[in-house]
Amino acid sequence: MKKSFVIAALALVVAAACQKTVTPELTVSTTTINLGPEGGNATLTVTSNQEWTVSAGDSWISLGAASGTVGTQTLSVNVGPFTEASARSSQIVVKSESLSQTIAVVQAAPVAPADPAKNSFKAIALGGTFEMSVPQGYTYTVNSSADWIVAEPAGEGLKLTVAPNANATENRSGKVEVLFGTSVLAEATIEQSYRNVEPGELLIEEVYFTGSPIEGSTSPSMDQYIKLTNNSDHVVYADGVLFVTNYIVGTITSAGAYYEYPELTDGLAVNNMYAIPGRGDEHPVAPGESIVLALAAIDYTASYKDGENLIEGNPNAIDLSKADFEFYDENDLYPDTDNPDVANLNIWFKESRTITSLHNRGFESYAIVIPPYNETAETIMTNHHWSGTYFFHFQEWNFDYDLADEDVWVIPGEWVLDAVNCCLEDSFYQNPWPAAFDAGWTHAGDYDRDPARFGKSVRRNVADGKLVDTNNSTNDFLPNATPSLKK
């Protein structure tokens, strides 16, 4: 028994002595993996005579396996897109017992476009929001040059919120930059007006100054109105817009009388000034929509009271009871009729001591203007009075007058939104303002006191769905037109 035990022990010693020592081996196919900013997959091979493990230095590296066995095996490496301004790097470590191999992983940063995306926006005084496009695939910062512009992420870009330009007297501008490191990815410039409507956006579409004919009478109804239309592709606000009549008469009367005035190089000489009420956001006018200013918001087709007098309805007339605004003149000399359902225009100044009306023979010219916030009726009359001398000519008589004695003020040209010059077809004498506001003229009636003028208006032409606006009423308006409110 003892002999058998000794023999078994000797056999184990001999077997152990016959085994060879195995040296660990570990190799990888590359020591560096380079990837672009878009990311993607890479592969490497690991050869080992022992089991091995692998780990990534950062979570943005995804490995196809965490370990491997003896032999040669393929290891996949996945990296997602990279949007930062500087390249990033990390490492992968493969270990087998006491051995390890390190593979560097480097991902390049995206390259900013050579030309930044440029946006340009125009904001009204009320402010508003705008969508700014930004190139994708970048982590960026936003810099605003103005505290009244706030940028927030929205979709694949930014939403820019522009604060109201409250109580302003001039335009302001700001800039937003989208920065990728030190490179500009995109930029936006914002020009904000001090007003809510710009020249050429709200236009005088029609002036019905003649009134409708009354059967058996040589006088017309007083169903006069002005129609203003939004000719832009966005909402405008009519709050604060002044309707003014021009002081200068450009017509020679049928008796041969005419006036000669000092030259105006800029601006309009006006007398009547009526303002659309509102704080800036009360009277929106949608694209293509209109508002009607009635001299009196009355249904002239039905009988109505004018003071103590009953005026018979005129079937040829126009129902203005649904107008948007009316001229309501409170005075001690002549009672005016007020429609409580129609807002009154604010009187800044009126020439008549009774009731304002449009010159039904077509001697007047009209404009709409919008002054800066700090301008009031009082400041205009204090600071903008017209000075100089004008002359009246009639046959052999010539008289000069001092404008200082007249109720006339010069509206600066930058306030003007639109203007239309009305004159008699056969009696045009002079343009009542610089040609930049209106280089031509239009008419209703062919001569002074033409009875055929009653029931006719001047209406702006339309082309391609838009009102024609060349600042020349000869081209822009259709004379002797049928009133648009006539049923």
- Tell me the per-residue pLDDT of 419-469, one tens digit each, with 9 for 90 and over: 999 988 778 888 899 999 999 999 999 888 899 999 999 999 999 999 999
| Residue 238 confidence class, pLDDT cut points 50, 70, 90 | very high
User: Residue 275's pLDDT is what?
Assistant: 98
Task: At 33, list the tokens.
Answer: 């993996």
Is residue 296 over pLDDT 90?
yes
Is residue 9 over pLDDT 90?
no
What's this model's pTM, rounded to 2 decimal places? Answer: 0.81
User: Residue 254's pLDDT is what?
Assistant: 76
| Residue 3 confidence class, pLDDT cut points 50, 70, 90 | low
Which domains, ranges and CATH numbers included, belong to the chain?
25-107 (2.60.40.10), 117-192 (2.60.40.10), 202-481 (no CATH)
Is residue 68 over pLDDT 80?
yes
Cα separation, 442 vs 461, whole angstroms: 12
- Tokens 């009639």 — which residue? 394
Q: Closest Cα to residue 343, out of 369, 323, 329? A: 323
Residues 6+ apart with CB under 8 A from 344: 277, 325, 326, 327, 328, 338
- Tokens 């152990």 — which residue? 16
**In angstroms, what CA-CA distances link 296 with 68, 226, 242?**
94, 11, 17
User: Residue 21's pLDDT is what?
Assistant: 73
Q: Closest Cα to residue 403, out of 274, 272, 271? A: 271
Is residue 88 over pLDDT 60?
yes
Q: Does residue 224 contact residue 360 with C-beta atoms inside 8 Å? A: yes
Which is more confident, 93 or 396? 93
Is residue 93 over pLDDT 80?
yes
Task: At 162, list the tokens.
Answer: 């522009």
Which is more confident, 333 or 152? 152
Residues 6+ apart with CB under 8 A from 286: 230, 235
Q: How far apart are the first and last CA of the chain?
A: 135
Q: What is the mean pLDDT of the chain?
A: 92
User: Residue 446's pLDDT is what?
Assistant: 87
User: Residue 7's pLDDT is what?
Assistant: 52
- For 382-410, what is the mean pLDDT? 94
| Residue 26 confidence class, pLDDT cut points 50, 70, 90 | very high
Cα separation, 449 vs 465, whole angstroms: 35
- For 32-38, what is the mean pLDDT? 96
Q: Which residues pair with 411 in a beta bridge?
A: 268
User: Residue 132's pLDDT is what?
Assistant: 94
